Structures are given as C-alpha cells and as structure tokens.
Amino acid sequence: MKVRPPSQHPSGAIPPPIPRDLVPRHVAIVMDGNGRWAKQRGLPRVEGHKMGESSLFDVIEGAIELGVPYLSAYAFSTENWKRSPDEVRFLMGFNRDVIRRRRDELHAMGVRVRWAGRPGRLWRSVISELTDAEEMTKHNRTLTLQFCVNYGGRSEIVDAAVKLAADIAAGRVKPGKVTEKVFARYLDEPEIPDVDLFLRSSGEQRTSNFLLWQSAYAEMVFLNRLWPDFDRRDLWDACEQYAKRDRRYGGAIPNEVRP
C-alpha cells in the first residue's frame, strides 16, 4: 500500500530541525480544556469536544512530519464516568464515530491504531470500532497511535498485577523471578515503549492517572493553550523543549572541582 504523506499545515509551517536522536520516541498527550473552551464561547461542553477532533488529527500529522513513532491520546478515562450522563453518552458516541470517520484517513497515512483500556463499561459499538481499526491498520509502520479509552493508569497496573498473580498461582512464573521487565509484559500494550514526552494542554499541571508506569521518567511539558486551539506547532514547541532537557535517569556526572 502506498502511504500518503500528511497534509501541510495551513500556515505553511514546517517541523523544527530537531536532531533525529533528540526527537521523543513516545509522546503521551492529555487533551485538556475542551469544556473551558466551549464555556468561554457560551457553548455546551460537547462543542469543545467536537472542535478537539481536528486538533488531534493535526497533531497526528505533525508527529508524522517530525518523525515521532509513538503517540498516545487520552480519549476517555476511567474517571470520566463521573461526568453527567448526557456528556458520557456523547463521549461514547463521539469516540466511536471519530474512529469510524477517521479510520481510512489514518490507514492511508500508515498509522497503526492500538487501544488501551478496560472493556468493562464501554459500549460494544465503541469496542467494535476500535478493534476493527486495530485489525485494518495492524501492518502499518509510519506511526503507532494508542487510543486510551476507558483507561486509567492505576487500573492498568492493578489489572497487570491480577494477571501476574494468576500466572504465579498457576506456576507459570516464579515469584523470585518477577522484575520490572517481567511485570511490564502484563500491561495493556507492552510493545509500546515508555513515554519520553508527557504533554498536557490547558495549563493544568498534573498527570490525571495517565500512563503512570510508562511515564516514570517522562519529561513533562504543560502548555497554556486549551485543546481545541492546539495544533501541530504546539507539539513541535513541546518537542523542542524536550530536546533541550538533560535526561539522566537518576544518574549524574560528577561536578568539576576547582582547586
């Protein structure tokens, strides 16, 4: 299949010249601020979610242009069930329809879709669209897009612990052999690497239970822009900030001691 390149941004903007080895391998995005964006304009909250769709797909195209191989989007959290029934119903249908509406476009650009989250309370139609998109795009290699739907970092860790405990009880794993590497194999998408850049819109500075295990050493960037106003240039800005960070993973270079 011939892969279609991403469309150019309307402004004509091009990716910044970040050295290849300084481009984050995995970017996780908390798409925050849809409700506030709508409130500022006297609109229902759902209008903000609708506008956020184009922001996500512009960011996806920008990630491809920059050469980011993995992108995770927090589409619906395990805590989002606390919202009003009307908003929850809208988000269920909206997530389902976005996947259906954009699946061919993603496939044409060589995007592989993966889904992380609990099936539990999800609408069957949402699960069906997600699994169909996974199957359609499973051989694509341009970018892996992880949709996190009915996802929570703590829930993922608990679910992984339950599966590991079952394997230990069945004798398939020895307790003394459990390491971080072994445990990570029980997470939702173990083949997706740890998060390098954790990006959140709207100015809020918290992780909100997103990819907790995978973000242990992520660089955090919080941009003061509501999600519907986001586009690929904001992603590039965050990646430029990331490229300037000194990632030591707990290590340190000894200080030069002056005589």
Q: Mean of the pLDDT values across residues 116-138?
A: 96
The DSSP secondary structure of 149-197, one letter per residue, reads EEE-HHHHHHHHHHHHHHHHHTTSS-GGG--HHHHHTTSSSTTSPPPSE
Confidence of residue 251 (pLDDT cuts 50, 70, 90): confident
**How far is residue 247 CA from its own chain's centroid?**
21
Find the catalytic residue in 21, 34, 58, 80.
Answer: 80
The string of pLDDT tens digits covering residues 29-59 is: 999 999 999 999 999 999 999 999 999 999 9
In the predicted structure, residue 114 carries a pLDDT above the cut 90: yes
Residue whose token pair is 């106003």 = 229
**Catalytic pick from 32, 58, 188, 196?**
32
pLDDT of residue 249: 79
Residue 259: is its pLDDT beyond 90? no
pLDDT at 255 over 80: no
Please provide the average confidence, as pLDDT, over all residues in the chain.
96
**Dist CA 221 CA 143 (whole Å):** 21
Pairwise CA distance, residues 258 & 243, whole Å: 30
Model confidence pLDDT, tens digit, residues 72-89 = 999 999 999 999 999 999
Position 122 scores a pLDDT of 95
Structure tokens that stand for 207 in this block: 């992780």
Active site residue 209: no
Cα separation of 236 and 63, whole Å? 8
Is the confidence at residue 175, as pLDDT, over 80?
yes
Q: How far apart are CA 26 and CA 30, in angstroms?
A: 13
Is the whole-model pTM more than 0.75? Answer: yes
d(CA 205, CA 166): 36
- Altogether, the residues listed in the chain come to a count of 259
pLDDT at 247: 83
pLDDT of 79:
96
Judged against a pLDDT cut of 80, whether residue 110 lies above it is answered with yes
pLDDT tens for each residue of 218-227: 999 999 999 9
Cβ atoms 62, 233 nearer than 8 A: yes
Going by their DSSP bridges, the two strands 219-222 and 197-200 should be labelled as parallel
Check residue 162 and give its pLDDT. 98
DSSP 213: T
Average pLDDT value for residue range 142-159? 98
Q: Could you tell me how many helices (H) and strands (E) the chain has, helices first? A: 7, 6
Residue 68: which residues within 8 A CB-CB, separation 6 or more?
A: 23, 24, 25, 26, 27, 143, 235, 239
What is the longest distance spanned by two Cα atoms in the chain?
70
What does the alpha-carbon distance between residue 127 and residue 69 come to, in Å, rounded to a whole number?
Answer: 24
> pLDDT at position 147, please?
96
Residue 80 annotated among the catalytic residues of the structure:
yes
Measured distance CA(56)–CA(181) in Å, rounded: 31
Q: Which two tokens stand for residue 205?
A: 């500075």
Find the mean pLDDT for residues 231-252: 92
Q: Looking at residues 193-205, what average pLDDT do you find? A: 97
Residue 257's pLDDT is what? 83
Please state the rounded mean pLDDT for residues 15-39.
97
pLDDT of residue 131: 97
Residue 250 pLDDT level (bands cut at 50, 70, 90): confident
In the predicted structure, residue 1 carries a pLDDT above the cut 80: no
Q: Give the count of beta carbons closer than 10 Å to the beta carbon of residue 172.
A: 9
